[in-house]
């Protein structure tokens, strides 16, 4: 469908007006859902700027085991100074003036409901937060950052701490972004009282680093494998003998790119036959070390993810003395998902994602069969978000390049991942992040779909030609829906709401624009850019 210059200007003006009005648009302004609903001008940030008004965002529930450490930064956006208060915290748990809840969880299992209030000179907000003491961690999909597509082989403590500070300075922590995860390439040699993997020289003090991350209201993650070697060529959680002597497998020192990259850059781990679990299991020693350092999350990477090895990993983490979220990578075998999902908090449903349409669409639109296997505390993981400026994996990256995904493809990417209740892990340049990327990461209504506590599965409700509609029932009774165009040109999707499971009149809200768009019933039409998406919440109108 082609548009004249004047029509394009009119469409842009309408979008700018909606963005300026934001969530203040009353439903009466638009009595009926526009027909067709216009596609945005490509590249426009649809998310309104963050309001100065207080808004309590992000996950409203935290799972901890009895007696475990509690750490939760209440995510509140809005102008500072801000007063944040909590009432109903259990004994042993407190909140400071910045909204950081910490302490020791009660030994008694149960749900502790906490009333939250936030106020500044513009207004106030209130909500409920639940501390759930029981057997499950990670009751909503984790949100955070991974070093892999940022710094890869050059990752170090200074960069990790800089990223944590940027989470605070850029305000991501106020929207629920929590985890700062080190991926591969941190490892040095075995040693210490646990005979565990010690960090290489780029990480002079892991314990101090975790303590600093926690003080910012964030959590820390690390990486390993049950194999003798990692994909990037460093040592893993098992060894060929009790002395952990890898000399018979490693490459000569003169050929190493880094002192501790003893198996060589990928695919060296395969060439040196270190891509297997060795006869001596040392992962339990490593888990105790991570707990002592203060890590909250571990990505364990090998293939195939088999059940017996995962059981050993789970046991090691459970006995480490700390609550540690278990993320399995990569490409979990679908035939074992029931058993793996019982043991892990998240599991990769795919190999490594790449920043192009074929990879993102191929992974994203093939996730429906996995949906029935997730539940609070147990999540399908279609891999890292390819948005913003990225580094080059498997290199000592020091520069960032804009993702190859178009703006419309990035909207599709984030929309689909949120409908899928996927972990939201970024790996982009935060120091020089642009407004468009910030809009992708700070839209609390879009994030709320991902973090919805009901964790009901998304389904492909309708599929015709280049068009797909995915829906997800939310805890409040409304339905989130993503409208997608996988084709190569702008087109209009026409569908009857009954065909996507919606019968009767509905109030429609555009979640990316955070604006009500009137009432819809029966046939609707949505114009979509090539590889683009629209995301709505449908609320039944009584």
Residue-level pLDDT at 542? 83
Residue-level pLDDT at 397? 85
Kindly write down the DSSP assignment for every residue of 77-90, as one continuous string.
ESSSS-EEEEE-PP
Residue-level pLDDT at 22? 40
Between the alpha carbon of residue 352 and those of residues 247, 359, 381, 384, the distances in Å are 30, 9, 11, 8
Residue 483 backbone zone (phi > 0: left; psi -120 to 50: alpha; other: beta): beta
Spatial separation of the C-alpha atoms in residues 389 and 438, rounded to whole Å: 12
Phi/psi for 15 (5° steps) reads -65, -40
The C-alpha angle with vertex 74 and arms to 222 and 118, in degrees rounded to 5, equals 165
- pTM of the complete model beyond 0.85: yes
Spatial separation of the C-alpha atoms in residues 62 and 327, rounded to whole Å: 17
Question: Which segments of 193-245 does DSSP mark as H helices, in order?
Answer: 206-215
Residue-level pLDDT at 374? 97
Place of tokens 């990259």: 261
Residue-level pLDDT at 123? 98
Domains of the chain: 5-47+457-540 (2.60.40.1180), 60-133 (2.60.40.10), 143-442 (3.20.20.70)
Residue-level pLDDT at 27? 32
Three-class DSSP category at 266: coil
Spatial separation of the C-alpha atoms in residues 87 and 114, rounded to whole Å: 6
C-beta separation of 310 from 283 below 8 A: no
How do the pLDDT tens digits run along the chain, 542 residues long? 333 343 343 444 444 443 443 433 333 334 699 999 999 999 999 999 999 999 999 999 999 999 999 999 999 999 999 999 999 999 999 999 999 999 999 999 999 999 999 999 999 999 999 999 999 999 999 999 999 999 999 999 999 999 999 999 999 999 999 999 999 999 999 999 999 999 999 999 999 999 999 999 999 999 999 999 999 999 999 999 999 999 999 999 999 999 999 999 999 999 999 999 999 999 999 999 999 999 999 999 999 999 999 999 999 999 999 999 999 999 999 999 999 999 999 999 999 999 999 999 999 999 999 999 999 999 999 999 999 999 999 999 879 999 999 999 999 999 999 999 999 999 999 999 999 999 999 999 999 999 999 999 999 999 999 999 999 999 999 999 999 999 999 999 999 999 999 998 999 999 999 999 999 999 999 999 999 999 999 999 98
Q: pLDDT tens-digit profile of 454-505? A: 999 999 999 999 999 999 999 999 999 999 999 999 999 999 999 999 998 9
Q: For the chain, what's the residue count?
A: 542
Quick one: DSSP state of residue 483? Answer: E
Quick one: DSSP state of residue 152? Answer: B
Spatial separation of the C-alpha atoms in residues 186 and 146, rounded to whole Å: 13
Is residue 293 exposed (0-12), middle (13-18) or buried (19+ Cβ within 10 Å)? buried
Q: pLDDT tens-digit profile of 311-320? A: 999 999 999 9
For residue 29, how many C-alpha atoms fall within 13 Å in the half-sphere facing its CB?
13
Residue-level pLDDT at 9? 39
Three-class DSSP category at 382: coil
Phi/psi for 460 (5° steps) reads -80, 95
Residue-level pLDDT at 31? 66
């Amino acid at each position: 469908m082609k548009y004249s210059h004047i029509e394009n200007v009119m469409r842009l003006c309408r979008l700018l007006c909606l963005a300026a009005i934001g969530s203040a648009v009353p439903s009466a302004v638009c009595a009926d859902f526009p027909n067709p609903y216009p596609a945005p001008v490509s590249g426009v940030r649809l998310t309104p700027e963050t309001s100065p008004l207080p808004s309590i965002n992000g996950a409203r529930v935290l799972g901890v085991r009895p007696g475990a450490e509690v750490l939760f930064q209440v995510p509140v956006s809005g102008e500072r100074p801000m007063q944040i208060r909590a009432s109903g915290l259990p004994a042993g748990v407190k909140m400071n003036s910045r909204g950081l809840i910490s302490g020791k969880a009660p030994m008694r299992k149960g749900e502790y409901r906490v009333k939250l209030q936030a106020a500044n000179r513009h207004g106030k907000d209130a909500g409920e937060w639940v501390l759930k003491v029981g057997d499950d961690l990670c009751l909503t999909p984790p949100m955070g950052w991974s070093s892999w597509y940022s710094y890869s082989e050059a990752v170090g403590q200074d960069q990790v701490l800089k990223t944590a500070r940027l989470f605070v300075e850029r305000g991501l922590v106020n929207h629920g972004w929590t985890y700062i995860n080190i991926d591969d390439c941190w490892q040095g040699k075995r040693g210490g009282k646990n005979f565990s993997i010690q960090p290489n020289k780029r990480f002079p003090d892991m314990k101090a680093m975790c303590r600093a991350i926690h003080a910012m209201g964030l959590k820390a993650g690390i990486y390993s494998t049950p194999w003798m070697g990692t994909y990037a060529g460093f040592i893993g959680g098992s060894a060929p003998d009790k002395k952990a002597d890898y000399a018979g497998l490693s490459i000569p020192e003169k050929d190493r790119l880094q002192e501790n990259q003893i198996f060589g850059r990928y695919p060296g781990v395969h060439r040196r036959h270190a891509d297997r679990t060795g006869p001596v299991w040392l992962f339990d020693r490593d888990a105790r070390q991570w707990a002592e350092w203060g890590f909250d999350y571990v990505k364990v990477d090998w293939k195939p993810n088999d059940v017996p090895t995962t059981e050993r990993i789970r046991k090691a983490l459970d006995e480490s003395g700390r609550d540690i979220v278990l993320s399995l990578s990569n490409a979990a075998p679908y035939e074992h998902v029931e058993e793996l999902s019982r043991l892990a908090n998240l599991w990769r449903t795919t190999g490594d994602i790449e920043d192009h349409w074929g990879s993102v669409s191929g992974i994203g639109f093939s996730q429906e069969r996995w949906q029935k296997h997730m539940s609070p505390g147990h999540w399908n993981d279609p891999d890292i978000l390819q948005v913003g400026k990225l580094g080059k994996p498997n290199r000592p990256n020091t520069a960032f390049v804009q993702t190859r995904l178009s703006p419309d493809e990035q909207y599709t990417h984030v929309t689909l991942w949120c409908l899928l209740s996927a972990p939201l892990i970024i790996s982009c340049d935060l120091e020089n992040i642009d407004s468009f990327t910030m809009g992708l990461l700070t839209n609390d209504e879009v994030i709320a779909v991902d973090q919805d506590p009901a964790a009901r599965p998304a389904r492909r409700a309708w599929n015709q030609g280049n068009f797909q509609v995915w829906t997800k029932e939310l805890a409040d009774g409304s339905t989130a829906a993503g409208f997608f165009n996988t084709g190569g040109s702008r087109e209009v999707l026409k569908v009857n709401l009954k065909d996507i499971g919606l019968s009767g009149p509905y109030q429609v809200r555009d979640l990316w624009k955070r604006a009500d768009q009137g009432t819809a019933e029966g046939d609707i039409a949505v114009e979509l850019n090539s590889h683009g998406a629209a995301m709505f919440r449908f609320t039944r109108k009584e």
